[in-house]
Amino acid sequence: MSSRPSSHGTPPLVVLRGVEKTFSSRQGADYVAVRGFYLELARGEFFCLLGTSGCGKTTILNMIAGFEKPTAGVMELEGKPIAGPGRDRSVVFQGDDSLYDWLTALENVEFGLRMRGVPKTTRREQAHHYLDLVGLTGQEAKHPSELSGGMKQRIQIARVLANEPKMLLMDEPFAALDAQTRAVMQEELRKIWQATGTSVLFITHDIDEAISLATRLGVMYAGPASRLKEVVDVELEGARNRTDDRFLGYYRRVYGMIREEVEVARRRERPDGPR
C-alpha cells in the first residue's frame, strides 16, 4: 500500500483503515463523502492532504479530530480508537471565527491551559512563550478584532501549540490570507514544526503550499466516495525553493494527478457539459 509512512520501525501515530463517512440527508439520498480510506501517519511527519474541493479532505480531518464519527472503518490514535475530540489533537481552523473575541490574544492562547487548571503564572509564562514563537510579541493585550488575518491565524497556532498536542490538524489555515502573508506563514509554520517536532496533518488545495510544507503528501480522488489516490514522499531538504528544479518536478507530478480529478469532478457536476 502506498500510504505507508516513510519512517519504518516505530508504530504509527494515527491509523485509518477502511474509513467511510456517509452523511444522511432529509431528502433521503445519503451522501457518501469518503469510502475505503486508508492512511497511516507517523510521529513527527508533516502530511499534506490535497484534493479538489468537496472531495472530503475536511471530513477526514474532522473525523481524526473526533468532531465526526466514521460510519464504517477503524480510526486509531496510538493504537486506541478515536472516540471524540481531545486535547492530544488540536485543530487550526480556516477562518478566524474559532477565536474568542471577548478574550485578548494572550487569554486566547492560554485557554486550553486554563481549562486544565494550570496556575495563572505558569500558563501566562507558557502563553507568552508560544506567542513569541509565532511572532506576536507585543500583541498580547489586543483582542482578535484588532488584529490582521495573518495575526489571527498566528493566535490560533499559538493557542494549539500551548496545549502541546501530539498532533496538529490544520484545515486550510492560510486559505483566507493574501499571497505574501501566506508565504510568510508557511515559512514560519515549517520552522515551528521543526522546532517542536509535532506531527501535522495539513489540508490544502494549493499544490505549491503542500510541496513547500510536507514531508509526505496525499492526493485524494474527486468526491463522492473519495479515498486516497496516491501518496508522494517529498524529499526536499532545508528551505524549499519554489524555483528549484526538483520542486518543479514534484509540482508537475502532483499537478497532473489533481488535474485529472478536477476534470472528473467537473464532468460529475455537469454531465452534459463540454468534455
Partner 1 sequence: MRRLREYGSYAIGFASLFLLWHVAAVYLVQSALFPPPGSVIARAVALFRDGTLVANVAISLQRILTGFVCGSLLGIPIGLAMGSFAPIRRILDPYTEFLRFIPAVAMITVAVIWFGIGETSKLFLIIYATVFVVVLNTAAGVASIARNKIRAAQALGATRFQIFCHVALPATVPYILTGMRLAMTNSFVTIVAAELVAANNGLGKMLWDARLYMLVDDIFVALLVLGCREHMICPLPRASEMSAFAGRRATAIVNQGGDDGARRGRPGAGHEDPRGHHASVGWSHHLVAGGRYPGPRSAQCAALARPLRSRGARRAL
Interacting residues with partner 1 (CB under 8 A): 21-27, 31, 33, 54, 56, 58-59, 65-69, 71, 84-87, 89-91, 93-102, 111-112, 114-116, 143-151, 156, 159-160, 163, 169, 180-181, 184-185
Alpha helices in 66-214 (DSSP H): 105-109, 111-115, 120-133, 149-162, 179-196, 207-213
Q: Which is nearer to partner 1, 5 or 112 (CB)?
A: 112
Torsion of CA 159, 161, 162, 167, to 10 degrees: 110
Q: Which is nearer to partner 1, 50 or 234 (CB)?
A: 50
β-sheet bridge partners, residue 204 = 50
Give the integer Cα–Cα distance in Å for 190 and 134. 11
* In the complex, least distance from residue 194 CB atom to partner 1, rounded to whole angstroms: 20
Helix axis angle for 149-162 and 179-196, nearest 10°, is 10
Q: Which is nearer to partner 1, 12 or 144 (CB)?
A: 144
Give the integer Cα–Cα distance in Å for 195 and 255. 30
DSSP assignment, residue 221?
P
Give the integer Cα–Cα distance in Å for 275 and 265. 12
Q: How many helices (H) and strands (E) does the chain have?
A: 8, 10
* In the complex, least distance from residue 7 CB atom to partner 1, rounded to whole angstroms: 26
Q: Which is nearer to partner 1, 121 or 180 (CB)?
A: 180
* In the complex, least distance from residue 272 CB atom to partner 1, rounded to whole angstroms: 22
Give burial (CB, 10 Å; 0-12/13-18/19+) of 101: exposed
Cβ–Cβ under 8 Å, residues 157 and 173: yes
Neighbours of 34 (CB within 10 A): 27
Q: Which is nearer to partner 1, 36 or 54 (CB)?
A: 54
Q: Which is nearer to partner 1, 95 or 233 (CB)?
A: 95
- Cell 490544520 sits on residue: 170
* In the complex, least distance from residue 273 CB atom to partner 1, rounded to whole angstroms: 21
Q: Which is nearer to partner 1, 26 or 275 (CB)?
A: 26
* In the complex, least distance from residue 174 CB atom to partner 1, rounded to whole angstroms: 12
* In the complex, least distance from residue 20 CB atom to partner 1, rounded to whole angstroms: 11
* In the complex, least distance from residue 251 CB atom to partner 1, rounded to whole angstroms: 25
